[in-house]
Amino acid sequence: MQYSRYKVGSGRAGFLEKTWKSQEKNEQKKYTRPGDELLKELLTPLQYKVTQEEGTEPPFNNAYRNNKKDGIYVDIVSREPLLSSTDKYKSGTGWPRFIRPINKGNLVERKGRKFFTVRTEIRSKQGDSHLGHVFDDGPAPTGLRYCINSASLRFVAKEEMQDNGYGEYLKLFESQPTQNSSFPDQ
């Protein structure tokens, strides 16, 4: 209680609220969902079906299942950063799979019942794109398996990240070997 009074009295509470809301507004401006008509022009029929109609692309026949390059994966609709190749691993499911997102705040989870089971759908926060599902049968350290449709993603190679506005994520590749090196048979 004493800290709460200090926080308000010192102006810290107002500063934090202003700072975080400002950053959140900037994120919303930076990553936005285009209108539906424009999306129909920009996306392939499969990309539209997956991201806007909660479709699923065919397993083992998609763009990023076997991608072994270093880089990040962004929402094809809003371009918000979602996943990193450093967290990609081999699961044998037929879709790209990751142990965690870059920033969990860029994802929205929805529990749903479909095909006689309860699943957790993953959507992008700003683009509201259907990405795939998360399961609790993944490897350590998270125990999670983010199974994502390639059709919902755009890959930005490590060497292109700075020029494409994702330079702040280059730190993901600085101090650790990538997960890809641990899973050579992707």
List active site positions: 147
Is residue 119 helix, strand or coil? strand
Pull the structure tokens for residue 151.
Answer: 């059709």
Is residue 32 helix, strand or coil? coil
Q: What is the separation of C-alpha 107 from the centre of its chain, rounded to a whole number of angstroms?
A: 6
Dihedral angle of Cα 76, 65, 52, 137, to the nearest 10 degrees: -120
Residue 98 pairs with which residues in a beta bridge? 88, 146
Sequence-separated (6 or more) residues with CB below 8 Å from residue 33: 39, 77, 78, 126, 127, 128, 129
Residues 148 and 95 sit within 8 Å (Cβ to Cβ): yes
Identity of residue 54? E
Is residue 125 helix, strand or coil? coil
Rounded to the nearest 5 degrees, what angle is found at the Cα of 68, between the Cα atoms of 140 and 97? 40
